Structures are given as C-alpha cells and as structure tokens.
Amino acid sequence: MTELRRTSQAPPRKRILCVDDDLAIARLLTRWLGRAGYDAVATSAPLTAVQQLVSAARPFDALITDQNMPGMTGLELARFAVSARPRLVVFLATAKGDCLDPDQLASSGVSHLVAKPFDLEGILASLEETIGVARQGRLVLV
C-alpha cells in the first residue's frame, strides 16, 4: 500500500525592492519589512534597481522608491518598473508629496504616495491591502 503525504509548505514570502540613495534608509526599511514577514532587498542605486527588476529569478511584488535620487527620479524608476513588470505595486516616498502632480503619479504607475519620514504601519497596511499579505501581529518599533 502506498501512503500519500501532504506537505504543508509555506507560500513564498512577498518580495519588496526598496530604493533610496541613502543606503542606511533603504536598509532600515528592509529590516522593518523583514520583521513583518516580507523578503525585502535594498539598493541605493536606481540603475541597480532596474537590473534587479529585469533579471530577478523571482519577481518583486512591490517597489518602494525615493523620489529624489541622483541619476534617476523615483517617477522615472516607477515608469520603467511598471513597463517591465506591469503587476508591480509602486510606492513613491518623498518629503515633498504636495509638489507632485497626481496625474503624473498615475501615469508613472505609482499607486501609493508615502510621506517621509516613513509611517511604517501605514506602509504595512497598504502592502497588506495591495499584495495580500496578512500580518501575524502588530510590529512594534523600538
């Protein structure tokens, strides 16, 4: 008699690419996201982010990018990212959100505008809503 067993393998963690020209900020964000159950990757270079978006063996589910970066703005990165990965959810982080045109945000593929300094609970709630990951508990920042 052959016995069949079910393996209860956890689904892969949702992947988030975090881009900020201040690498310390990108790394801090990835640590917070990692504690919340995401597989987060940090980079300070928009061109590196472009390469990662195109060549990733496992695609990213969301992009969190700063707006003001040398070489490429967050809007430019968002536009490229969504053309390469149409289902990608894009968060644009900026301290000057009131200076951005809502039509330009939408045409660039940005679905969420994130104020700096970060409201991590707000980001996590938006991620949960848009890419469908329920948190196991409330993240406490110390």
State residue 118's pLDDT score: 81
Q: b/e string for 89-124 if b means 16 or more Cβ within 10 A? A: bbbbbbeeeeebeeeebeebbbbbebeeeeebeebb
Torsion of CA 59, 73, 65, 81, to 10 degrees: -20
State residue 39's pLDDT score: 94
Instruction: List the beta strands (DSSP E) in 73-141.
Output: 89-94, 110-115
State residue 3's pLDDT score: 54
State residue 97's pLDDT score: 65
pTM of the model: 0.82
- pLDDT tens by residue, the chain, 142 residues: 555 555 555 667 899 999 999 999 999 999 999 999 999 999 999 999 999 999 998 999 999 999 999 999 999 999 999 999 998 999 999 887 667 888 888 888 998 888 888 888 888 888 888 887 544 433 333 2
Domains of the chain: 15-130 (3.40.50.2300)
